[in-house]
């Protein structure tokens, strides 16, 4: 860790651009959120929350009107079980009737509702509904605020970790939440890959790839990622990090263990107390928290005492849970703990022998039964505990984000990630007659294991408008929709005619599918293309195109589509396609005239991403509560300020003896102030709870009106001697100056050196001095007769202003440019010192001033 820090501090000092934007990395987990900030001048580390914790409980909630985050929100569940929302990751892009939702209902007391998009919203007791994206956006905005106060600037770019198995829809839900939170998605990175980046940062590799398994056991799932690390050998050459295979279990993880442990407590409670605690939301929420606590104790101990005061029905629950009992309840999971490793190996086409180590990451990897299962499966010698299980992913994500933003110089690590799913394009075959049933043709464009950042182009020889569907070949999760989107292509015939007019032969439709670096699949370009006759190529091309989809032969299944070799495009990288299907057009670099873009209409097949309008509405809703909270804070501050002021005034009035306050006030004034103070206290007690910010401020200023004259006198009495001293000092300085100037004039009169100032100038200054002296004497005389509790005869401010007039007159003289009057001429004009053509020298002006 320290090594990375040092390395980065060094690198950050030689950044390449002047204006560096910070990059925020967030590891958004089902139980915990970790964040890290890459920002110039901020030491690279995990971001701390307001109570200096390194991880933040992944919960948002309310305590009546107050919105809470982190452990505050989590802990409130015992009292307000339907106002505390945890484990929201389970609900990302989950349709209301999905398995994830039924699982969620088994772990959370929250009330769910269905959104217009068929996804889930959570319902607060007051009836307001918040979509999963909005609640997650609140959490992300909370993290953003932490980051912005650390960076001292706006933070916009964010990189977020997602499990490798996240579908396009789930990724859309992540990106939508980021946008609602007012940030921009720099990239999504698979969590195992992020751990690998962090691992590679401080290590060197050889040309021969070295394989490691990143075993990441989190709250909601267990993931295994096989990563190959290599480097060209030379010190400066980049490290290549290639994901070779992934394996995962979406229903085993820390949360499932919590659920089973709570079942033990629930069953025990029901047995002991013969009451159905399942019907008690508070009780269930309290036991959920307790299960997490007991699980942590059982990680280090053979048994734990569970104890919850007044858990439900006024019963204080106490019970002993043994690790054995807990592990028995999880017996069926045992074989599932290590399985993702072997799935990942087989996905990668490797065996355990090829693997140097199995690196454990994720909070649940500390659970003894999980660690034991992994050890038993891969052998103790392969287990590596050399990364920080909690923080490796977020730090790796930050490092990757920094390299993507290209603004920070970090170790050059080239990352290649893959998709675990077969992604296919489907379409109906052309039919000769309307009566014939079209055949559905499926073509896998990105088989499982395909690299992110790839494109493929499909070529169709079809004349009529048609529809292309993009889908997972099989359900990513049983019961999960396979369809991603479909595009309706139109205007083909017109485009063909145009192409033929410009000399093209045998035009075709080309559709390019991209699999972006962040794992989104989408159509990028759909065009009509016709090769303009070129003798050297025509023959070759014709024969090529003739093989493509020109026949309706039912037997030739796969020949209808021809994939261009991916290698010709793979190197380009696909660019990000954003969640709502906006397609980033390739730069229009001298597009040959043989290509005409076709009109396409995209339709989302299963769970659509949020539309721009939906996201704007969501942002506005969030902003509304942000503003309301800010107003509440201001109101509380105004109330606190008023209260503090009331007590201060009361103390002033009650203080015994010759206090300055007493000296400077009359009996009547103190009485009036005391009366006003009582009235204000009364108002605060009676109406204070329903008052507005303006009311608090008004009551404060009203009271101040009574106190102000006293404070004014007191301040004047304190200030007067200083101001007087200042006035007298300028009198004295001016008097000294005049005396000297007069002496110089008399020297000049006696035929000596020419004096610097003329008689008129000296007289004028002396006049100013006399006026000031006279005025000062008068007011000092008057002030002598003024009592403490009376207003002063003259304000200290006026003394200072008058002294300033004298000071300026003196300064003007001192700073005056010196004119060397010719000694030969003693005419009055030369005495004015303004004759043109005479050499004018400027004295160093400030020296005299400084001497004063």
Ligand X SMILES: *[C@@H]1O[C@H](CO)[C@@H](O)[C@H](O)[C@H]1NC(C)=O
Residues near ligand X (CB under 6 A) are 350-351, 353-354, 721-722, 725, 737, 740-741, 744, 753, 755-757
C-beta closer to ligand X: residue 513 or 810: 810
Q: How far is the CB of 716 from ligand X (least distance, A)?
A: 14
Q: Which is nearer to ligand X, 382 or 756 (CB)?
A: 756
In whole angstroms, give the CA distance from residue 16 to residue 38.
Answer: 15
Nearest distance from residue 852's CB to ligand X, in Å? 12
| 706 or 737: CB nearest ligand X | 737
Residue 450's contacts (CB-CB under 8 Å, 6 or more residues apart) are 418, 419, 423, 515
Q: CB of residue 350 vs ligand X: minimum separation in angstroms?
A: 6
Distance of CA 738 to the CA centre of its chain: 68
In 313-382 the beta strands, taken as DSSP E runs, fall at 315-322, 355-361
User: Shortest approach of ligand X to residue 733 CB, angstroms?
Assistant: 12
CA atoms within 13 A of residue 338's CA, in its CB half-sphere:
15
Q: How far is CA 618 from CA 136, 180, 243, in A?
A: 11, 6, 36
Closer of 321 and 762 to ligand X (Cβ): 762
Q: Give the residues across from 819 on adjacent strands.
A: 840
Pairing outcome for strands 111-114 and 120-123: antiparallel
Do 341 and 374 form a contact (C-beta atoms < 8 A)? Answer: yes
CB of 386 to ligand X, least distance (A): 22
Q: To the nearest whole angstrom, how small is the minimum distance from the Cβ of residue 738 to ligand X?
A: 8
What CA–CA distance (Å, rounded) separates 427 from 523? 14
Write down the least CB distance from residue 330 to ligand X, Å: 33
**Among residues 361 and 762, whose Cβ is nearest to ligand X?**
762
State the nearest-atom distance from the C-beta of 345 to ligand X, in Å: 10
Residue 413 token pair: 């690590």
Residue with smaller CB distance to ligand X, 298 or 418: 418
Q: Which two tokens stand for residue 705?
A: 């009106």
Cβ nearer to ligand X, comparing 314 with 850: 850
Measured CA to CA, the distance from residue 438 to residue 462 in angstroms comes to 14
Strand partners, 144: none
- CA atoms of 342 and 249, how far apart (whole Å): 12
Q: Which is nearer to ligand X, 693 or 768 (CB)?
A: 768
Helix (H, G, I), strand (E, B) or coil at 166: coil
Are 245 and 213 in contact, with CB atoms under 8 Å apart? no
Q: Which helix (H) or strand (E) holds 805?
A: helix 796-815
* Torsion sign across C-alpha atoms 351, 352, 354, 359: positive
Comparison of 212 and 281: residue with beta carbon closer to ligand X: 212
Nearest residue (CB) to ligand X, 725 versus 834? 725
Q: Which two tokens stand for residue 491?
A: 């205007």
C-beta closer to ligand X: residue 184 or 722: 722
**Which of the 8 DSSP states describes residue 451?**
B
Closest CB to ligand X among residues 661, 757: 757
Task: Please state the closest distance from residue 756 (CB atom) to ligand X, in A.
Answer: 4
**Structure tokens of 475?**
């359900």
CB of residue 846 to ligand X, shortest distance in Å: 15
What is the closest distance, in whole angstroms, from the C-beta atom of residue 351 to ligand X in the complex?
6
Burial of 399 (0-12, 13-18, 19+ CB in 10 A): buried
790-to-676, 702, 703, 787, 793 alpha-carbon distances in Å: 21, 22, 20, 5, 9
Task: Considering the complex, state which of residue 395 and residue 813 has its C-beta at the smaller distance from ligand X.
Answer: 813
Closest approach of ligand X to the CB of residue 729, in Å: 7
3-state secondary structure 74-110: HHHHHCCHHHEEECHHHHCCCCCCCHHHHHHHHHCCC
Number of C-beta neighbours around residue 4 at 10 A:
17
Measured distance CA(402)–CA(413) in Å, rounded: 11
Pairing of strands 504-515, 521-532: antiparallel
Q: How far is the CB of 247 from ligand X (least distance, A)?
A: 17
Place of tokens 């009235």: 679
Nearer to ligand X, 304 or 799 (CB): 799
- Closer CB to ligand X, residue 55 or residue 821? 821
Q: How far is the CB of 197 from ligand X (least distance, A)?
A: 21
Of residues 164, 140, 167, the one with CA closest to residue 47: 140
Closest approach, Cβ 426 to ligand X, in A, equals 34
Minimum distance, C-beta of residue 816 to ligand X, in the bound complex (Å): 10
Cα 385 from Cα 393, distance rounded (Å): 14
Q: Which helix (H) or strand (E) holds 262?
A: helix 254-273
Bridge partner list, 142: none
C-alpha to C-alpha distance for 45 and 54, rounded to whole angstroms: 10
Nearer to ligand X, 96 or 205 (CB): 205
């Amino acid at each position: 860790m320290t090594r990375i820090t040092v390395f980065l501090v060094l690198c950050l000092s030689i950044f390449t651009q002047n204006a560096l934007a910070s990059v925020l990395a967030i590891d958004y987990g089902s139980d915990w959120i970790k964040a890290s900030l890459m920002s110039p001048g901020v030491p690279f580390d995990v971001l701390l929350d307001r109570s200096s914790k390194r991880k933040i409980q992944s919960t948002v909630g309310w305590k009546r009107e107050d919105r809470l985050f982190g452990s505050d929100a989590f802990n409130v569940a015992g009292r307000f079980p339907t106002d505390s929302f945890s484990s929201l990751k389970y609900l990302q892009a989950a349709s209301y009737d999905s398995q994830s939702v039924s699982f969620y209902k088994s772990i959370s007391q929250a009330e769910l509702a269905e959104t217009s998009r068929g996804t889930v919203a959570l319902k607060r007791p007051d009836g307001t509904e918040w979509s999963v994206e909005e609640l997650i956006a609140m959490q992300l905005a909370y993290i953003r605020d932490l980051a912005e106060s650390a960076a001292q600037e706006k933070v916009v770019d964010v990189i977020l970790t997602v499990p490798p198995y996240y579908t396009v829809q789930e990724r859309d839900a992540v990106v939508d939440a980021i946008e609602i939170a007012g940030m921009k998605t720099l990239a999504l990175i698979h969590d195992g890959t992020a751990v690998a980046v962090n691992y590679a940062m401080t290590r060197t590799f050889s040309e021969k790839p070295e394989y490691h398994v990143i075993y990441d056991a989190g709250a909601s799932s267990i993931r295994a990622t096989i990563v190959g690390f290599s480097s060209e050998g030379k010190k400066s050459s980049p490290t290549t990090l290639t994901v070779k295979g992934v394996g995962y279990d979406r229903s085993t993880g820390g949360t499932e263990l919590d659920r089973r442990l709570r079942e033990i407590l629930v069953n025990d409670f029901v047995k002991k107390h013969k009451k159905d605690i399942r019907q008690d939301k508070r009780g269930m929420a309290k036991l959920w928290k307790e299960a997490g606590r007991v699980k942590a104790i059982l990680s280090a101990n053979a048994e734990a005492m569970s104890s919850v005061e007044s858990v439900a029905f006024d019963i204080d629950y106490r019970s002993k849970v043994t690790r054995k009992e807990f592990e028995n309840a999880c017996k069926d999971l045992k074989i599932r703990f290590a399985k993702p490793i072997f799935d990942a190996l087989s996905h990668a086409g490797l065996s355990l022998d090829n693997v140097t180590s199995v690196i454990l990451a994720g909070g649940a990897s500390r659970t003894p039964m999980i660690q034991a299962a992994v050890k038993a499966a891969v052998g103790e010698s392969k287990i590596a505990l050399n990364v920080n299980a909690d923080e490796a992913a977020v730090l790796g994500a930050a490092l990757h984000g920094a390299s993507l933003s290209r603004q920070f110089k970090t170790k050059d690590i080239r990352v290649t990630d893959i998709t675990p799913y077969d992604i296919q394009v489907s379409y109906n075959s052309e039919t000769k007659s309307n009566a014939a049933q079209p055949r559905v043709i499926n073509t896998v464009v990105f088989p499982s294991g395909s690299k992110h950042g790839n494109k493929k182009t499909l070529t169709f020889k079809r004349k009529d408008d048609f529809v292309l569907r993009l889908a997972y070949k099989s359900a990513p999760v049983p019961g999960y929709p396979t369809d991603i989107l479909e595009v309706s292509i139109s205007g083909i015939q017109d485009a063909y005619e145009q192409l033929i007019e410009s000399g093209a032969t045998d035009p075709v439709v080309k559709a390019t599918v991209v699999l972006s670096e962040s794992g989104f699949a989408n159509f990028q370009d759909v065009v009509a293309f016709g090769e303009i006759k070129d003798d050297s190529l025509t023959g070759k091309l014709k024969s090529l195109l003739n093989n493509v989809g020109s026949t309706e032969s039912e037997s030739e299944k796969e020949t209808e589509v021809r994939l261009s070799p991916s290698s010709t495009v793979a190197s380009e990288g696909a660019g990000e396609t954003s969640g709502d299907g906006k397609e980033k057009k390739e730069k229009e670099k001298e597009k040959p005239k043989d290509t005409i873009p076709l009109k396409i209409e995209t339709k989302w097949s299963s769970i659509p991403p949020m539309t721009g309008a939906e996201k704007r509405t969501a942002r506005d809703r969030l902003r509304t509560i942000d503003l309301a909270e800010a107003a509440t804070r201001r109101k509380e501050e105004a109330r606190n300020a008023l209260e503090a002021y009331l007590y201060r005034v009361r103390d002033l009035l009650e203080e015994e003896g010759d206090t300055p306050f007493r000296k400077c006030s009359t009996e009547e004034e103190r009485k009036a102030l005391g009366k006003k103070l009582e009235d204000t206290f009364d108002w605060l007690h009676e109406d204070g709870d329903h008052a507005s910010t303006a009311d608090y401020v008004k009551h404060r200023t009203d009271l101040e009106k009574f106190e102000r004259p006293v404070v004014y006198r007191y301040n004047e009495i304190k200030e007067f001697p200083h101001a007087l001293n200042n006035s007298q000092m300028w009198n004295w300085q001016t008097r000294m100056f005049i005396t000297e100037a007069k002496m110089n004039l008399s020297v000049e009169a006696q035929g000596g050196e020419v004096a610097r100032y003329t008689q008129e100038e000296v007289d004028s200054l002396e006049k100013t001095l006399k006026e000031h002296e006279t005025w000062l004497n008068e007011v000092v005389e008057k002030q002598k007769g003024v009592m403490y509790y009376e207003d002063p005869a003259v304000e200290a401010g006026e003394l200072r202003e008058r002294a300033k007039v004298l000071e300026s007159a003196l300064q003007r003289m001192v700073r005056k440019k010196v004119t060397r009057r010719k000694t030969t001429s003693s005419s009055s004009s030369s005495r004015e010192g303004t004759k043109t053509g005479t050499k004018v020298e400027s004295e160093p002006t400030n020296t005299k001033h400084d001497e004063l």
